[in-house]
């Protein structure tokens, strides 16, 4: 019987992903469609007065009624990562010369670490994605389905053309959403290319949560690793040094 670890891999993880590239803060998909991803802040609705809650509901209803295009709202929950904060405490601990203050800092660090660990503190992030369909480029549904069925899928048009058309269609919608959310008191901003790379890496590599990637331009090979249970296959990240 053949050892599965010795069988050469003829397909990469990227062949199973819909993402073609991320350029100028826009996600390009393999069928020629695109999307922008917005990050939205949150507020505690229960802490608002009854009048404020009513105003919030009416403003949100007005936002939904103003939409003439599709959007997708995503809520991401994950355990709070306090590793960076703990590193900051460790630096302050090393610099402290007073034994009394140093002892207090050490106790505080232990308290914070145990609090997050025992109570499973979750960090919730809210995102709104605005899609751009390849049908807006004039691509027919039959052409899209044919391209998807091919093993080596290719974009229906050059990336630069798709990107410009997508930006022309998506940016007015993005600005409209930002204005509508500001009426509710929520701050919205478009995720940058680097933030998009980081968030997709975290989604596809949950075991690597907390790993911060270098700039997208520093990599010459794909940074999404295959999740194969029990496999010893390693994927190296090669950086450009040119």
Q: pTM of the entire structure? A: 0.69
pLDDT of the residue at 241: 45
The three state secondary structure string of 33-78 is CEEEEEEECCCCHHHCCHHHHHHHHHHHHHHHHHCCCCCEEEEEEE
pLDDT of the residue at 6: 55
pLDDT of the residue at 152: 53
pLDDT of the residue at 137: 84
DSSP state of 25: T
pLDDT of the residue at 156: 83
Tens digits of residue pLDDT in 12-56: 566 677 889 999 999 999 889 999 999 999 888 899 999 999 999
pLDDT of the residue at 148: 52
38, β-bridge pairs: 128, 190
pLDDT of the residue at 182: 92
Q: Which residues of the chain have pLDDT under 50?
A: 226-242
pLDDT of the residue at 230: 43
pLDDT of the residue at 68: 93
pLDDT of the residue at 129: 96
pLDDT of the residue at 115: 84
Question: From CA 149, how far away is CA 59, in angstroms rounded?
Answer: 43
């Amino acid at each position: 019987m053949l050892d599965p670890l010795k069988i050469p891999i003829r397909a990469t993880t990227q062949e199973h992903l819909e993402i073609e590239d991320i350029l100028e803060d826009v996600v390009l998909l393999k069928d020629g469609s695109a999307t922008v991803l917005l990050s939205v802040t949150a507020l505690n609705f229960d802490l608002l007065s009854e009048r404020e809650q009513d105003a919030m509901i009416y403003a949100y209803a007005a936002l939904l009624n103003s939409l003439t295009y599709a959007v997708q709202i995503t809520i991401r929950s994950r355990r709070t990562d306090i590793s960076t904060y703990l590193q900051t405490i460790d630096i302050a601990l090393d610099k402290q010369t007073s034994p009394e203050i140093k002892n207090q800092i050490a106790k505080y660090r232990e308290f914070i670490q145990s609090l997050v660990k025992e109570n499973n503190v979750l960090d919730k992030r809210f995102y709104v994605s605005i899609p751009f369909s390849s049908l807006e480029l004039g691509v027919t549904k039959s052409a899209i389905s044919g391209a998807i069925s091919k093993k080596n899928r290719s974009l229906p048009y050059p990336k630069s053309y798709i990107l410009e058309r997508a930006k022309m269609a998506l940016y007015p919608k993005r600005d409209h959403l930002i204005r509508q959310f500001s009426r509710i008191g929520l701050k919205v901003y478009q995720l940058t290319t680097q933030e998009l790379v980081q968030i997709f890496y975290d989604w596809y590599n949950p075991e690597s949560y907390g790993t911060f990637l270098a700039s997208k331009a520093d990599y010459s090979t794909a940074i999404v690793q295959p999740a194969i249970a029990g496999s010893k296959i390693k994927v190296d990240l090669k950086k450009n040094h040119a």
